[in-house]
């Protein structure tokens, strides 16, 4: 898991260094744009784990950085679809669906979070 997260972090840092703006100093909207570029740059066939992590980070940037649950949920679902271990993505999808008032959907995502991949 650490290796997968490291790959995404390195890719984000590389993209960040191209613009000369440190990733940690970005506004949430800039981080979202950078993560969108990361998602677009990854090959699902070769980089499924990194892509899953990138989608997860994008969802978190939307949810926590921008307070936008509507945009966060599809990112978490995309992460769950490609991540080798989608538990975190399903859990965040559950939290997000709950925030949107979609309790039945949230319960289904929670169930998937604790089920084996």
Domains of the chain and any CATH numbers: 2-114 (1.25.40.10)
Kindly report, residue by residue over 87-116, the tens digit of the pLDDT.
Answer: 999 999 999 999 999 999 999 999 999 987
CA-angle at 70, arms to 51 and 112, nearest 5°: 60
Kindly report, residue by residue over 3-23, the tens digit of the pLDDT.
Answer: 444 444 444 444 444 344 444
Give residue for tokens 């679902």.
77
pLDDT of residue 26: 63
Nearest partner of 99 among 50, 61, 64, judged by Cα: 64
pTM for the full predicted model: 0.77
Kindly report, residue by residue over 55-82, the tens digit of the pLDDT.
Answer: 999 999 999 999 999 999 999 999 999 9
pLDDT of residue 115: 85
């Amino acid at each position: 898991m650490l290796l997968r997260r490291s790959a995404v972090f390195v890719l984000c840092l590389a993209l960040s260094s191209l613009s000369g703006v440190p990733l940690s100093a970005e506004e949430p909207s800039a981080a979202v744009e950078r993560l969108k570029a990361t998602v677009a740059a990854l090959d699902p066939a070769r980089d499924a784990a990194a892509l899953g992590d990138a989608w997860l980070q994008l969802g978190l940037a939307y949810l926590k950085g921008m307070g936008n649950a509507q945009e966060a949920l599809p990112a978490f679902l995309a992460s769950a679809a490609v991540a080798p271990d989608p538990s975190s993505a399903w859990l965040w999808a559950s939290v997000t669906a709950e925030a949107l008032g979609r309790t039945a959907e949230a319960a289904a995502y929670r169930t998937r979070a604790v089920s084996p991949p």
